[in-house]
């Protein structure tokens, strides 16, 4: 039985949901090339900006300016009064499309990328080749972007680094989608990472973690990517809650007392770029 309420349909593919500084839900629609802001109480929605290179991860600098990942360009853009400008170039770091992003309270951004052409690989050989114990998945770096746009490699050899969140104790958690787990890092005062460790192994639950959201108690809500569920996971991998969605759940955000889920029947572009099957669904926490 579905545990969510539909709040918006007709999307192509929603991703990167975040609670904005104004309290509204902000999200990207990959194939409409738009970043939108939605008031979950009134249903009022507006287009914040158009991103021709395909928008994904979102975040804000301390002064409130929006940062948005332009996937195919492999850059981070910054929204000024005059429009979008380049904030950081990730072409020397990202080995395929740039993707999800976390911006911390200091304005430092952590940006993942696909690492390889995932959708072409699935179209050519199916998902099974990427999911089995003998699979070979390329590793790729996680990028660190300083507030001034300077870039560096934060961590190497991640298996499709995707959603990210900061735990209450300051550690960074990264969803490694094709490693079937959540990985934690210690964060230094300059934003650099160390102490890499497995925070939650999820293969036994067949959870390929996509987007994630950290709650106030340090639990991590995980979009399951291969399943129509969002799961709440604690350190070590125990699942404490399960929320069933109407379609596969690819991204989550916490907005006040609501868990927002971005869902679609698949992530394959040949399907979702042409049809409007994406949804935003909400579960009261």
Which tokens hold the place of 8?
């918006």
Q: How far apart are CA 17 and CA 79, in angstroms?
A: 17
- Both tokens of residue 172? 């960074």
- Residue ranges of domains in the chain, CATH in brackets: 5-284 (2.120.10.30)
pLDDT of residue 118: 64
CA distance 19 to 24: 6
pLDDT less than 70: residues of the chain: 116-119, 121-136
Q: Give the model's pLDDT for residue 114.
A: 87
At 115 the pLDDT is 82
Q: What is the pLDDT of residue 191?
A: 97
In this prediction, residue 116 carries a pLDDT of 61
> Are 19 and 252 spatial neighbours (Cβ–Cβ below 8 Å)?
no
pLDDT tens digits for range 219-228: 999 999 999 9
Q: Provide the whole-model pTM.
A: 0.95
């Amino acid at each position: 039985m579905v545990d969510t309420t539909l709040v918006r349909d007709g999307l192509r593919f929603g991703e990167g949901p975040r609670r904005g500084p104004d309290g509204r839900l902000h999200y990207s629609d990959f194939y409409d090339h738009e970043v939108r802001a939605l008031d979950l109480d009134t249903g009022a929605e507006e287009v914040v900006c158009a991103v021709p290179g395909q928008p994904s991860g979102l975040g804000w600098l301390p002064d409130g300016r929006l940062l948005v990942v332009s996937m195919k360009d492999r850059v981070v853009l910054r929204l000024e009064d005059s429009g979008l400008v380049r904030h950081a170039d990730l072409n020397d770091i990202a080995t395929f499309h740039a993707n999800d992003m976390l911006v911390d309270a200091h304005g430092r951004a952590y940006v993942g990328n696909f690492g390889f052409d995932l959708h072409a690989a699935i179209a050519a050989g199916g998902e099974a080749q990427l999911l089995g114990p003998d699979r070979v998945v390329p590793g790729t770096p996680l990028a660190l972007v300083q507030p001034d746009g300077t870039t560096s490699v934060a961590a190497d050899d991640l298996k499709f680094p995707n959603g990210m969140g900061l735990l209450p104790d300051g550690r960074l958690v990264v969803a490694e989608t094709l490693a079937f787990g959540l990985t934690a890092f210690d964060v230094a005062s300059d934003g650099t990472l160390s102490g890499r460790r497995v925070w939650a192994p999820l293969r036994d639950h067949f959870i390929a973690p996509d987007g994630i959201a950290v709650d106030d108690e340090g639990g991590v809500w995980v979009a399951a990517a291969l399943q129509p569920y969002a799961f709440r996971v604690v350190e070590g991998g125990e699942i404490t809650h399960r929320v069933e969605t109407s379609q596969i759940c690819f991204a989550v955000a916490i907005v006040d007392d609501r868990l927002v889920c971005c869902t679609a029947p698949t992530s394959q572009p040949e399907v979702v770029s042409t049809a409007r099957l994406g949804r935003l669904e909400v579960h009261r926490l």
